[in-house]
Amino acid sequence: MTKIAVAIDGPAAAGKSTVAKKVAEIKGYTYIDTGAMYRAFTWYCLEKGIDCQDEAACVALITKVNIELKPNHVVICNGKDVSREIREPRVSSQVSYIASYKDIRLALVELQRKMADTDSVIMDGRDIGTYVLPNADVKIFQIASVETRAVRRYEENISKGIQCTLEEIDADVRKRDYIDSHREFAPLKAAPDSVLLDTSYMTVDEVVQNVIDIIDAKIEEKEKRA
Ligand code: CDP
C-alpha cells in the first residue's frame, strides 16, 4: 500500500477531528489528534496548580509528562485516562497559552513526527502542513464561519454532557483563533500548497468524500510516478 500522510489544519471547532477520524476509518490510516496532546499537557499543568500564562513554570513540566494517544480516541496522561477532562471548558480556555510556548511545541512535535514515521497517517491541528509534516502528500485547510463553528462545538459538548453556554463557546473559539494565529512560533495558517475546504454549508459526509477524493487522486499520481 502506498504510504500517505494527510495534514488537516484549520481554526477551532472547524470539524477537523470529526472528518479526520472518519477518513482514517475508511482508508485504514492512523489518526493523530495533535490538539489532544496540547490539551492533555494543559490538563496536567492545571492539575499541578500551575498558571498556564507562566511560560517558565509550564515548560519546566514538559519532561514530567508522558502523553499517549490510544485507539478509540482515548488519551492517556501519565497513566490516567483524561479523554473526557481535556474537552472541558477549563482546559479549552487555557490550551492556546500553552500551545504558544516554543519549548512545549518542540517536544510535542517530536512525538508527532515519530508517530507519522512508519504508518500512513491523517493528522489534524494548526501547523501540520506548515511545520510538522511539510512534505505531507495532501494538505487540507478546513474552515467554516465562526458562528457555525461555535454552534457545532456547543452541540458537541452538550451531547457529551459537558456543561457550557453558546456565548461561552463563541468567545472561546474566537479567543483561541486569535492566539493561535498570532503566536510567533508555528502559528495557525494555511500552507501555500493546501486545499481550502469551506465546510459552512457542507454535511460531514460531504466533507469526508471531498477529502477522500483528494487523497485518491494523490495516490493515483504517486503510483503512476513510482
Ligand atoms: O478541536 P478544536 O479545533 O477545538 O481544538 P484542538 O484541535 O483540540 O486544539 C486545541 C488547541 O491546541 C488549539 O486551540 C491550539 O491552541 C492548540 N493546537 C496547536 O497549537 N497546534 C496543533 N497542531 C494542535 C492544537
Report which of 122, 102, 97 is spatially closest to residue 112, judged by C-alpha positions. Answer: 122
CATH at residue 118: 3.40.50.300
Per-residue confidence of the chain (226 residues) as pLDDT tens digits? 789 999 999 999 999 999 999 999 999 999 999 999 999 999 999 999 999 999 999 999 999 999 999 998 999 999 999 999 999 999 999 999 999 999 999 999 999 999 999 999 999 999 999 999 999 999 999 999 999 999 999 999 999 999 999 999 999 999 999 999 999 999 999 999 999 999 999 999 999 999 999 999 999 999 998 8
Q: How far is the CA of 225 from the centre of ligand 1 (A)?
A: 35
Length of the chain: 226
The Cα–Cα gap between 28 and 122 comes to: 10
pTM for this prediction: 0.97
- For residue 12, give the ligand 1 atom closest to its CA: 3
Distance 214 CA to ligand 1 centre (A): 24
Minimal-distance CA residue to ligand 1 atom 21: 126
Of all protein residues, whose CA lies closest to atom 7 belonging to ligand 1?
35
Q: Is 150 in the pocket of ligand 1 (CB under 6 A)?
A: no
Residue 74: domain span: 5-225
Number of folded domains that form the chain: 1
Cell 473559539 belongs to residue = 173
